[in-house]
Amino acid sequence: MIHKSLAAMALVAAAPLASAQSVSMCVFDVIGANGDFYNFVKDYALEMKGHGVDFELKPYTDEGVAIGDFNAGQCDAVAATDIRIRPFNKFTGSISAVGALPTYDNLKTLLATLAQPKAAPLMKDNGYEVLGIIPVGAGYLFVNDRSIDTAGELAGKRMATLDYQKDAIHMVNFVKATVVPSDITNFAGKFNNGSVDTAYAPAFAYEALELYKGIGENGGVVDYPLAQLTLQMVARDDVLDDETAQKAREVAWNMFPQAMGLIEGQEAAIPEEKWVRIPEKDIRGYQEMFRENRIEMRDGLNGAPDVYHPKMMGLLSKIRCASNPSAAECTAGNRE
């Protein structure tokens, strides 16, 4: 008598031997799994495996989709830039406040401060917890004409602006430039084909997105960090216990030198003659301009969006004044 085999679909795969807790993470990198920052998160994940967490990474080249999938519960955690992190933690999402961290030394102080166990309560908000912060480089202003080297010169100029970045839109309006709504995938094309006069981006974009084309013979990169961009890992609060979450933040902080090495390489790829240096006295003026705008965007004054967390503004001000105590803002009546 002939009959069918009962052994249908015999699976020979053995389950992994390790018993680490599995956490899926949607990871944004403009160039996906072969991007520098995705690879960086891979190192972070490997380090975390030693602490009992098995991150399963999924690459996303569209940051909005990564956040959408995280919101839809398709991943337990997400790695995205702090502008997108604001809804999950307004405090750490305010690190990129305009002009708030003028040097990488200031950024280092901030990230070391936030990695302390004492900072843990600030890492939790709204049912989410920050599991680490990695710098991705300062945002600089790219201009097609080197004479645009003062805020006043920006009036009337067209600026590619991320359409979801409320603070940037406010600043562009403040300097009386024209907002040209853009996203990460098309701002470079707009700058390079001349449909905007200026754009802002980390140094990474100079080579990878060929921003030197938009700069041409006459333009340059203004050597003043408009904002410090960071990649932040965020998970739903119940995904990791408090101790492991703190460990995760320390692991990310320990990778700071590695991230800075990457950023320094990207900034070094911009030729010296393309940097537009601005005089010290102008810088002081900009610092005050940015400070006033930050206060407006902290308090939602004069039609500004209230996107910045007051505690983060206070901490950033403390860091700036510790490194430059003679700055006017440190004795100002309306200190942040």
User: Taking CB under 8 A as the rule, which mask of x and - marks residues 237-276 in contact with another protein?
Assistant: ---------------------x--xx--x---x-------
Q: How far apart are CA 210 and CA 188, in angstroms?
A: 8
Pair of tokens at residue 305: 């969006």
CB 67 within 8 A of CB 86: no
Token digits of residue 252 = 């990310």
Pairing mode, strands 198-202 and 158-162: parallel
Residue 120 interacts with another protein (CB under 8 A): yes or no:
no
Query: Strand pairing partners for 262?
Result: none
Residue closer to another protein (CB basis): 122 or 208? 208
Residue placing its CB nearer to another protein in the complex, 35 or 139: 35
Minimum distance between the CB of residue 49 and another protein, rounded to whole angstroms?
5
In this structure, are residues 188 and 199 in contact, taking their beta carbons and an 8 Å threshold?
yes
Q: Which two tokens stand for residue 193?
A: 């084909």
**Closer to another protein at the Cβ: 46 or 112?**
46
Q: H helices of 61-165, where?
A: 63-71, 82-85, 104-114
Residue 17 binding another protein, by CB under 8 A: yes
Q: Would you give the distance in Å from CA 221 to the centre of its chain?
A: 19
Q: How many residues bind another protein (CB under 8 A)?
A: 51
CA distance from start to end of the chain: 87
x-or-dash string of contact with another protein, 44-73, rule CB under 8 A: --xx-xx-------xxxx------------
66 vs 100 by CB, closer to another protein: 66
Query: Does 39 sit near another protein (CB under 8 A)?
Result: yes
Instruction: Give the C-alpha separation, 112 to 13, whole Å.
Output: 43
138-146, 185-193, 195-203, 315-323 -> range binding another protein (CB under 8 A)? 185-193
Interface ranges with another protein (CB under 8 A): 1-5, 7-14, 16-20, 31-36, 39-40, 42-43, 46-47, 49-50, 58-61, 185-186, 188-189, 204, 207-210, 213, 258, 261-262, 265, 269
